[in-house]
Every structure is written in C-alpha cells, then in structure tokens.
A = this chain, B = another copy of it.
Amino acid sequence: MHKIRLLEECITEFSRLPGIGRKSAARLSMHLLKIKKEDVLRLADKITLFRENIIICSECGGLSEDEICPICSDPKRDRRTLLVVEEAKDLFAIEQTGCYNGVYHVLGGKISPLEGIGPDKLRIRELTEKVKAGGVSEVIIATNPDLDGETTAVYLFKLLKDYSAAVTKLASGLALGTHIEYADELTVLRAIEGRREMY
C-alpha cells in the first residue's frame, strides 16, 4: 500500500490534537486542499503567532500579549474583588458571562496529590501576598467542583481566612464533576451570583 508522505504527516499532526482521531484528521487534511492556499497559510500563521507570543500576565497569571493583561490594566475593574481560578480557560468562561467586574488570580492548576502537584507548584504564594497586602475585600474561589478542585478550595480557605478579606466560593449551580470551561453561561452566571461564605 502506497502512502503520500506529506498527507500522512499532515494527518499525524492533526491526530495529535485532543479529540481528533485518525479519520477526523484525514478529513481535516483533505479539507485543506479544498480551501484557498492563503487560508491554510493564515491558519498555520495564527497557530504559530499564538504559541510564540502569548505570555503569562505578571499580575493575574492569565494569558496576555503584554506584561500586564487587558483585564489587570483596566482601571474600571474592581481590584477589591479577586476571583481565583485554576486555569486561564476558566477565566474566559467567567468573562463570557459579562457579569463579573473584579480581577482574577490564575493558580495554574490545582492541588493534586495523585499527580504530585503540591501548593508550591501553583501560584498560591502570589495570591497570599495580594491578600496580605490588603486592598482585597473579597476572594472568590472558583476552582472546579471536582475532588482536587474542592481540596484546593479548602486549602486556600484555610490559608486566607485569617486576613481581612471575606473568602467565598462559587455556588453549587455547577453540577459536581463538570468543568467550568464547558458549563453554559447561565450556569456559570448562577454560580457567581449564588457564591457563599466558606464554612
């Protein structure tokens, strides 16, 4: 059986992406031949540009093109409210609702003893320092409602409860086991509105 090397390589690359099997990868590859050459070049270009130029905002730990991200550098955002998420994708899900006007703190993951991720591997020290410095009246913990996420939430609560800021967490509007990233906007909105003080 003869293979076209360039096609095989293209299929292999596509099928490395999450959720894309070999048949989908082949379909995507064949699709590239149907669209204009410049559209393929633009796809390749935007992928590369994104990967090469995106950096981590030195304030919140979210994604940014500059040293400070657009949210952290926006004077209209309320800096007294700090919403803590695991990953930048969770930040986007919250932003999508359009109802949150505070700032964020991205942990860069969650505490996971099974995967050997301890508090020291996350941006927890930076969070404590922000709260310690004062000026924060509320810390909203928005980790995912799964085992590791809950563990992280409890850990953060214990760490922050003695400072002046109130520590709240998202309401149970989010069903257990789901991820913020995939929740519909209304569910995320309800969870923000129904956030409650941690026990």
How many A residues touch B, CB cutoff 8 Å?
59
In the bound complex, do residue A54 and residue B71 qualify as a contact, i.e. CB atoms below 8 Å apart?
no
Query: What is the oligomeric copy number?
Result: 2
Of A9, A19, A44, A52, the most chain B CB neighbours within 10 A belong to A44
Neighbouring B residues of A44 by C-beta, 8 Å:
43-45, 47-48
- Whether A10 is near chain B, meaning CB under 8 Å from some CB there, is yes
Neighbouring B residues of A41 by C-beta, 8 Å:
48, 51
Query: Which residue of chain B has the shortest Cβ distance to A72 in the bound complex?
Result: B2
Q: A28-B18, A46-B9 are in contact. Are A182 and B23 (CB under 8 A)?
A: yes
- Whether A1 is near chain B, meaning CB under 8 Å from some CB there, is yes
In the bound complex, do residue A16 and residue B39 qualify as a contact, i.e. CB atoms below 8 Å apart?
yes
- Whether A6 is near chain B, meaning CB under 8 Å from some CB there, is yes
| Interface-facing stretch out of A92-100, A133-141, A158-166 | A92-100
Partner of A7, one of B29, B37, B63: B63
Neighbouring B residues of A48 by C-beta, 8 Å:
40-41, 44
A87 and B33 CA atoms in complex are apart in Å by 12
Neighbouring B residues of A95 by C-beta, 8 Å:
1-2
In the bound complex, do residue A54 and residue B26 qualify as a contact, i.e. CB atoms below 8 Å apart?
no
In the bound complex, do residue B19 and residue A70 qualify as a contact, i.e. CB atoms below 8 Å apart?
no
Neighbouring B residues of A50 by C-beta, 8 Å:
6-7, 9-10, 29, 32
A3 and B50 CA atoms in complex are apart in Å by 13
A193 and B29 CA atoms in complex are apart in Å by 29
22 pairs, CB–CB < 8 Å, chain A vs chain B: A1-B95, A2-B74, A4-B63, A4-B65, A6-B49, A9-B49, A10-B47, A10-B49, A13-B47, A16-B43, A19-B27, A19-B28, A27-B89, A30-B88, A30-B89, A32-B51, A33-B63, A40-B47, A40-B48, A41-B48, A44-B44, A44-B45
